[in-house]
Structure 1
Amino acid sequence: MDFTAETATEAVVESFRHTDDPRLREVLESLTRHLHDFVRDVGLSLEEWEQALAFLTAVGQKCDDTRQEFVLLSDVLGVSMLVETLSGAGEGTESTVLGPFHMTESPSRELGDSVDLLGTGRACVVSGRVLASDGTPLPGAELDVWQCNEEGFYDVQQPDVQPPGNGRGLFHADDQGRYWFRTVVPSPYPIPTDGPVGRLLDATGRHPYRPAHVHFIVKAKDHLPVTTHAFVADSPYIDSDAVFAVKSGLITDFAESYEERDAERFGVGVPFVHARFDLVLAPEASR
């Protein structure tokens, strides 16, 4: 059969006929049909396709051990959030994007430790509980936490300024599902714009900024893990996150506190900033 504009799609779909994995075959067939429809729909020229290939090549070339430009591309196109939203368990805390900076292993820390290794800025405490969807606590739940500093940079972005592991910590909830750690209030920041994704944003008149937030990945036995953020309420860009990750249920008050008993318990002075953020995990059977 001649390969023509009319026969092209079915020819490629037929080439996957002997794929052993049925899910892989399903995905490849659907991808082929949608991609071919896109090419026809926009009347893609050879020059434009060459530009697209050059762009994707540049995205790959920008990736390294501490920079994931393909994750960034997925984020700014809303694909990361769409996949997270479709995959999320309705009974648990809403999920958001992983982001491009979960590139290094978070150091293990004890409850109450500070993830701010530089000792800068106002004291901030983030605390809460890890709960099952029926409200019972999940003792020993694992919380992987990472965030930028007060200037909006992650440790991997400033290896000459921030020590490795700054802003990161791996914690385990106590026997009542409680967790708490000390930190600084994160700042809004721009996603990296020195690569092809930045050029894409510039060409489309989009800003690169994200509202201030703390990242979490939370896990517990027999429950579905959740990847999410605690967004700082009233942060700039809360209504226009460059990666579309803000959900109203994740917006969290980082409020000034004068509670001396809390300050003593957390090992900080007054006043301090306190954010309370509970996390709910759905049972594995819910998916």
Structure 2
Amino acid sequence: MLADKEGLGPSLTDQVVASFAATPDERLRTVMQSLVRHLHAFVNEVELTEAEWMAAVRFLTATGKMCDDVVRQEFILLSDTLGVSMLVDAINHRYATGATDSTVFGPFYIDGMPEREFGETMALTPGTPALVHGRVLTTDGEPIAGAVLDVWQTAENGMYSGQDTAQQHGNLRGRYRTDASGCYAISTIVPVSYPIPTDGPVGKMLEATGRHPWRPAHMHFMIDAPGFRTLVTHLFDEGDPYLGSDAVFGVKPSLMVAYRERPASDALARQFSFDGAFREARYDFVLDRGLKE
């Protein structure tokens, strides 16, 4: 570390760390002092030039300008593509309880989407019809009635409603609830793999480093029930070619499902009003008892 100009006093890093010593909140003090140590160590390790420092400032400024209050969160996208989101996820969900694995939240969640009935379709745009259904259970295998599943996915063009202004409000989004037996049912379309947005700073970073922007096909879930930890997760199509190279490192083997072909004569087609062949995916979610995140 660099000392003062006489080479005898504390390093610049030590001085900055000490400046946070009186921070009243102990956790904030710990985070800020550790941030300074690691950030200064990085700058020293790579011997950051002034031009590179200014480029980083411009990059972060541009990242902030790409964010809005409703749909686009470029900083979450940056966190995702650097693996930070999944590292935070791993640290905060390392308890071995038998609950369903979590994964990244993603940058395109929208609060307040339509409340939907059991089995109601959330697809207002074309695609391969699909039924995604199963149960929400405790770690003891007991059903959880009234659990809320907040669900969202892209259309076949690889874009989310809200992100794509041509899509109707609430397309491929909805809030479903489990019945008395803990069962849920979602009529939708088979998800598709898609590239994350590359029109901002994150896209430029991926291009400059030779990385692809593709995510494997998936549906997002945020599942909430009183007395249980909120679960944020995905279901991935087990046949997708990008499972091994997800641009945001979000794939976990336990979250893969098969979309199996079902004929129009299937009993499920009659129950959920499919007028032709469709795909079926089954998955049981398991929630961990505990305080809310």
TM range (shorter): over 0.9
For residues 102 and 183 of structure 1, the distance between their equivalents in structure 2, rounded to whole angstroms, comes to 17
Q: Following TM superposition, by how much is the alpha carbon of 1:123 offset from its aligned partner in structure 2, in angstroms? A: 1.7
For residues 16 and 286 of structure 1, the distance between their equivalents in structure 2, rounded to whole angstroms, comes to 30
Q: Which moved more, 1:129-138 or 1:257-266?
A: 257-266
Among candidates 261, 282, 291, match of residue 256 of structure 1: 261
Q: Following TM superposition, by how much is the alpha carbon of 1:24 offset from its aligned partner in structure 2, in angstroms? A: 0.4
Q: 1:115 matched to which residue of 2?
A: 122
Q: 1:195 matched to which residue of 2?
A: 200
1:260–1:270 contact (8 Å) kept in structure 2: no
Aligned-pair Cα RMSD in Å: 1.7
TM-score, structure 1 normalization? 0.95
Q: 2:113 matched to which residue of 1?
A: 106
**Change beyond 3 A, Cα 1:3–1:163:** farther
For residues 29 and 201 of structure 1, the distance between their equivalents in structure 2, rounded to whole angstroms, comes to 30
Whichever residue aligns with residue 147 of structure 1, its letter is Q
Q: Following TM superposition, by how much is the alpha carbon of 1:241 offset from its aligned partner in structure 2, in angstroms? A: 0.4
Q: 1:72 matched to which residue of 2?
A: 77
1:8 aligns with 2:12: yes
For residues 4 and 109 of structure 2, the distance between their equivalents in structure 1, rounded to whole angstroms, comes to 44
For residues 269 and 101 of structure 1, the distance between their equivalents in structure 2, rounded to whole angstroms, comes to 31
Q: Which moved more, 1:18-27 or 1:84-93?
A: 84-93
Whichever residue aligns with residue 219 of structure 2, its letter is V
Among candidates 54, 57, 60, match of residue 56 of structure 1: 60
**Change beyond 3 A, Cα 1:286–1:60:** closer
Q: Following TM superposition, by how much is the alpha carbon of 1:46 offset from its aligned partner in structure 2, in angstroms? A: 1.4
For residues 266 and 19 of structure 1, the distance between their equivalents in structure 2, rounded to whole angstroms, comes to 58
Q: Following TM superposition, by how much is the alpha carbon of 1:278 offset from its aligned partner in structure 2, in angstroms? A: 1.1
1:216–1:227 contact (8 Å) kept in structure 2: yes
For residues 57 and 202 of structure 1, the distance between their equivalents in structure 2, rounded to whole angstroms, comes to 19
Q: Residue deviations 1:53-74, cap 9 Å, x none?
A: 1111110011113211101000
Among candidates 220, 223, 228, match of residue 218 of structure 1: 223
**Change beyond 3 A, Cα 1:286–1:218:** closer
User: What's the % identity of the aligned pairs?
Assistant: 48
Q: Following TM superposition, by how much is the alpha carbon of 1:163 offset from its aligned partner in structure 2, in angstroms? A: 0.4
Whichever residue aligns with residue 16 of structure 1, its letter is F
Whichever residue aligns with residue 84 of structure 2, its letter is V
For residues 96 and 157 of structure 1, the distance between their equivalents in structure 2, rounded to whole angstroms, comes to 21
For residues 233 and 113 of structure 1, the distance between their equivalents in structure 2, rounded to whole angstroms, comes to 24
Q: 1:142 matched to which residue of 2?
A: 148
Q: Residue deviations 1:218-266, cap 9 Å, x none?
A: 0111111110000011112111100000000001101112362122222
1:44 aligns with 2:51: no
For residues 286 and 214 of structure 1, the distance between their equivalents in structure 2, rounded to whole angstroms, comes to 23
Whichever residue aligns with residue 260 of structure 1, its letter is D
1:149–1:185 contact (8 Å) kept in structure 2: no
Q: Describe the SS at the equivalent of 1:72.
A: helix
Q: Which moved more, 1:106-115 or 1:2-11?
A: 2-11
Whichever residue aligns with residue 231 of structure 1, its letter is F
Structure 1 runs (4+) deviating above 6 angstroms are none
How many residues of Structure 1 are paired with residues of Structure 2 in the alignment? Answer: 284
Q: Describe the SS at the equivalent of 1:239.
A: helix
1:273 aligns with 2:290: no
Q: Residue deviations 1:158-213, cap 9 Å, x none?
A: 21x21011010001100111000100011110000001100000000000000000
User: Any stretches of 5+ residues in structure 2 without a counterpart?
Assistant: none
Among candidates 207, 210, 220, match of residue 205 of structure 1: 210
